[in-house]
Amino acid sequence: MNPTPVKRIVIVVAVLLMLLLLMWGTARAQGVQLTDDRGRTVQLARVPQRIVSLLPSLAETVCALDQCQRLVGVDRYTNWPESVRKLPQVGGGLDPNIEAIVALRPDVVLMATSSRAAARLESLGIPAVALEPKTHADVQRVLGKVGQLLGVPDAQRVWRATDAGVQAAAQSLSPQARGARVYFEVNPGPFGAGPGSFIGETLTRLGARNILPDTLGPFPKLNPEFVVRADPDLIMVGARSAEGLAARPGWGQMRALRGQRLCVFTPEESDVLIRPGPRMAEAARLMAACLERHAGGAAAKPTRGGAQ
Amino acid sequence: MALGTQASPAHSPGWARGLGALLALLGGLLVLLGTGVGSTGLENLWPLLWGGQGDAAERAMALQIVWDIRLPRTLGAWAAGALLGLAGAVAQGLFRNPLADPYLLGSASGASLGVATVLALMGGGAGMVGGASAAMAVSVYSSHWLVRLGLTGAAFAGAVLAVLLTLALARGVQHTLRLLLAGVVVGVVLGACTSLILLVSPDSLQAMQAFLLGSTGFVGWTSCLLMLAVWLPCLAAAWGLSRVLDALALGESTAHSLGLRLAPLRAALVAVLALATGTAVAQTGLIAFVGLAAPHLVRAAVQVTHGRLMLLASLMGGALLAGADLLARGLLAPQELPVGVLTAVLGGGYLLWLMHRKTATRGLL
| Model pLDDT for residues B114-172, shown as the tens digit of each residue | 888 887 876 544 433 333 333 333 343 344 344 445 666 777 788 888 888 888 888 86
Q: Domain for residue B1, yes or no? A: no
Cis check for the bond before A190: say yes or no (omega within 30 of 0).
Answer: yes
Residue B131 inside a domain? The answer is: yes
Which has more pLDDT, B204 or A254? A254
Interface with chain A: mutation pick from B64, B129, B146, B325, highest number of A CBs within 10 Å: B129
> Which band of pLDDT confidence, cut at 50, 70 and 90, is reported for residue B279?
confident
pLDDT over 60 (residue A191): yes
The model's pLDDT over A64-109, given as tens digits with 9 standing for 90+, comes to 999 999 999 999 999 989 999 999 999 888 788 888 899 899 999 9
Which of A164-168, A182-186, A300-304, B93-97 comes out lowest in average pLDDT?
A300-304
Chain A interface test: which of B128, B138, B218, B222 (most A C-beta within 10 Å): B218
DSSP string, B308-352: HHHHHHHHHHHHHHHHHHHHHHHTTTTS---HHHHHHHHHHHHHH
Indicate whether B134 belongs to any domain: yes
B132–A contact, CB cutoff 8 A: no
Of the ranges A157-166, B129-138, B240-249, B257-266, the best mean pLDDT one: A157-166
Helices (H), A65-186: 98-103, 117-123, 136-150, 156-172
Contact B218 A97 (CB under 8 A): no
* Res B47 pLDDT > 90: no
Q: Measured between CB atoms, does A140 come within 8 Å of chain B?
A: no
Mind listing the domains of chain A with CATH numbers? Answer: 33-153 (3.40.50.1980), 171-307 (3.40.50.1980)
Residue A218 pLDDT > 70: yes
Instruction: Name chain B contacts of A141, Cβ cutoff 8 Å.
Output: 130
**Nearest residue to A184 (alpha-carbon basis) of A217, A224, A212:** A212
Domain-located, residue B7: no
Total number of domains constituting chain B? 1
Q: Do B335 and A88 touch (CB under 8 A)?
A: no
CB pairs below 8 Å between A and B: how many? 107
B316-325 per-position pLDDT tens digit = 999 999 999 9
Question: Which residues 203-262 of B are in CB contact (within 8 Å) with A?
Answer: 203-204, 206-207, 209-211, 213, 215, 217-218, 220, 222
B220 vs A105: CB contact, 8 Å cut-off? no
Question: What is residue B4's predicted lDDT score, i.e. its pLDDT?
Answer: 42
Looking at the domain assignment, is residue B76 inside a domain?
Answer: yes
pLDDT band, residue B259 (cuts 50/70/90): confident
User: Residue A239: its pLDDT value, please?
Assistant: 86
* Interface contact A99-B61, CB threshold 8 A: no
CA distance A28 to chain B (A): 26
Window 47-106 of A, Cβ < 8 Å to B: 76, 88-91, 93-100, 102-103, 105
Q: What is the DSSP letter of B69?
A: I
Band (pLDDT 50/70/90 cuts) for residue A307 is very low
**The pLDDT of residue A206 is above 80:** yes
Does B189 have pLDDT greater than 90? yes
Distance of residue A21 Cα from the nearest chain B Cα, in angstroms: 24
Nearest chain A Cα distance for residue B24, angstroms = 27
Closest listed residue to residue B212, CA positions, set B121, B105, B287, B293: B287
Per DSSP, the three-state class of B131 is: coil
Check CB contact of B72 with chain A, cutoff 8 Å. Answer: no
- The CATH number of residue B85's host domain is 1.10.3470.10
Percent of chain B exceeding pLDDT 90 equals 14
Q: Identify the domain containing residue B163 by its residue range.
A: 13-362
In this prediction, residues B35-54 reach a mean pLDDT of 69
Split at pLDDT 50, 70, 90, the class of B94 is confident
Q: Is residue B331 part of a domain?
A: yes
Contact yes or no for A52/A58 (Cβ under 8 A): no
Q: Which of A132-141, B98-107, B187-196, B259-268 has the lowest mean pLDDT?
A: B98-107
Chain A contacts of B150, Cβ < 8 Å? 119
What is the DSSP secondary structure assignment for residue B109, as one 8-state letter? H
The band of A6, judged by pLDDT with boundaries at 50, 70 and 90, is confident
Residue B226 lies in a domain: yes
Q: In 3D, which of B66, B80, B44 has the Cα closest to residue B278?
A: B80
Give phi and psi for B39, each to the nearest 5: -65, -40
- Average of per-residue pLDDT across A103-132: 89
Query: Which of these, A104, A124, A123, lies nearest to A54 by C-alpha position?
Result: A104
**Structure confidence at residue B231 as a pLDDT band (50, 70, 90):** very high
Smallest Cβ distance to A116: which of B57, B58, B210? B210
**Confidence band of B280 (pLDDT split at 50, 70, 90):** confident
Higher pLDDT, A13 or B68: B68
pLDDT of residue A24: 63
- pLDDT over 80 at B202, yes or no: no
